[in-house]
Amino acid sequence: MAHPPTQPKFDRRDEIDLLAAAKEALPSDFPNPERINCPEASTLEAVAARRLSAPDIDDLIDHIATCSPCFTAYNEYRNAYCSRRNRRRYGALAVFLAVVIVAGYFGRKTFWPTLRSPEQIAEVAPLTAVLDFHNRTSERSAQTPSQGPEDTPHLRRTLLNVQIRLPLGSEDGQYTLQFRDSAGGTRAQTTGTANFDGTNETLSARIDLRTIEPGRYTLAIRQGSSSWHQYSVFVD
């Protein structure tokens, strides 16, 4: 039996196109009080929840990017969607913590490591580094990042907790991070989790840069099996 043709899916790259078109001007620069050609609220909500399949995605993106009411409504739906999802996650976390606490009551040594001295804690305490790629254009795949020296962030050669503000349109979830040398070899790698806080999609990860040489590196980031997004960084 023949299957109906698969409709194009609204994915991360589509939303990047939407927000990239809108980031050069505030939503108020595009008033549309008559709501001409505006999509239904349910369509905007579907865009925010990443569940839209439609034949005219490009036209929809162009409209939202140039319509103040639709752009504002999209952001509200996105925040509400993330809040609901986070409440579910927190509920699951609360159940998990309750299980751990009960288990620890009956067998603490099984679940909790031996306490370390203050000297040991200080020895491995990571530094925090914030990288803002929120409005930064990245290069994909094997292309070389094109940022100039004035745009290139510097990182310490130490154990780092990195907080990376991802480009507009990035999604929540698990990401892989690699530090690559000029020959393309991976010198350090880790994974992290991105979450939307109502303003930015921020990726949190811990990575150890103590064993790599100082110099310029390519920070490559991707979610799952999607294309790599690459940025230049200096490690001092």
Domains belonging to the chain, first-starting first, are 1-112 (no CATH), 118-235 (2.60.40)
d(CA 164, CA 130): 6
Which residues are CB-contacts of 76 (< 8 A; sequence separation ≥ 6)? none
Residue 186 pLDDT: 95
Residue 66 pLDDT: 76
Residue 137 pLDDT: 60
Dihedral sign for Cα 173, 201, 82, 59, please: negative
d(CA 144, CA 227): 14
Residue 217 pLDDT: 96
Q: Please give the single-letter amino acid code of residue 226.
A: S
Q: Please give the single-letter amino acid code of residue 14.
A: D
Dihedral sign for Cα 54, 58, 63, 68, please: positive
Whole-model pTM: value is 0.47
d(CA 152, CA 171): 24
Residues 129 and 161: beta-carbon distance below 8 Å: yes
Q: Strand 159-165 relative to strand 127-132: parallel, antiparallel, unpaired?
A: parallel
Per-residue pLDDT of the chain (236 residues; tens, 9 = 90+): 555 555 455 555 555 555 555 555 545 567 777 787 888 888 878 777 776 655 556 677 677 777 888 888 887 887 887 887 777 777 777 888 877 776 666 655 554 445 555 544 446 689 999 999 887 765 554 445 554 555 789 999 999 999 999 988 889 999 999 999 999 999 999 999 999 988 889 999 999 999 999 999 999 999 989 999 999 999 99
Question: Which residues is 180 bridged to in the sheet?
Answer: 186, 218
d(CA 189, CA 152): 19
Tell which residue, 216, 185, 204, 222, has the closest CA to residue 126: 204
